Amino acid sequence: MPTPDRTSLDAIVLAARDLLESEGLAGLSMQAVAARVGVRAPSLYKRVANREELIQFVAEATLSELGERLDEAGSLEQLAGEFRAFGHERPAAFQLILTPGAGTPTARPEFGASASQSILRLAGELAGEERALEAARTLTAWAAGFVSMELNSGFNLGGDVDEAWRFGLASIVKAIGDE
């Protein structure tokens, strides 16, 4: 008779996502995840082949969560606000999906494509379908850079960072609409 399952892939990924935020990518180990879900590390290998696959699953779950949040937006401004809020709430996950670093496992392309649907739709409404991809890339690159600088304390010249966000976002959205 086989031994009963003591955990699920969903529980493993959730524990790994929590560890990623509290311990960083370096602290995300199979042993630490096993301890979080209450099993011995060898039990994880029934669900996850190795640490690299676990990181990939975390990246995919993160993109799915972000995509769901972005789907609620009715405008590019709302979408960018959700994107920024996500970055502040889940900084390690944000970095994992947007600036993973050399050698870090990434999500399969279909997860990124799915998470991008809302921005492509909203950018297309503003810039036209033929320029939707360029518009979406422009906004994403600006917002990702801005949020990354916030998370890394990169704004050191004083001033109101929230005002800078509003100014930058309004400028980008205007430029997209004027194209």
**Domain that includes residue 27, residue range:** 1-48
Dmax (CA) of the chain: 67
When pLDDT is cut at 50, 70 and 90, the band that residue 4 belongs to is: very low
Asked if 59 and 105 touch (Cβ cutoff 8 Å), the reply is: yes
Domain contains 36: yes
Assess whether 167 and 146 both reside in one domain: yes
- Token code pair at residue 78: 């709302």
Asked if 59 and 107 touch (Cβ cutoff 8 Å), the reply is: yes
- Token code pair at residue 117: 């649907």
Assess whether 127 and 74 both reside in one domain: yes
How does DSSP classify residue 179?
-
- Across all residues in the chain, what is the average pLDDT? 93
Domain contains 53: no
Asked if 97 and 62 touch (Cβ cutoff 8 Å), the reply is: yes
Instruction: Quick: pLDDT tens for 87-121.
Output: 999 999 999 999 999 999 999 999 999 999 999 99
Assess whether 74 and 44 both reside in one domain: no
Instruction: Quick: pLDDT tens for 22-33.
Output: 999 999 999 999
Q: Number of folded domains in the chain?
A: 2
- CATH code of the domain in which 93 resides: 1.10.357.10
CA dist list (Å): 177 to 20, 42, 120: 38, 54, 14
- Token code pair at residue 96: 């994992």
Assess whether 121 and 166 both reside in one domain: yes
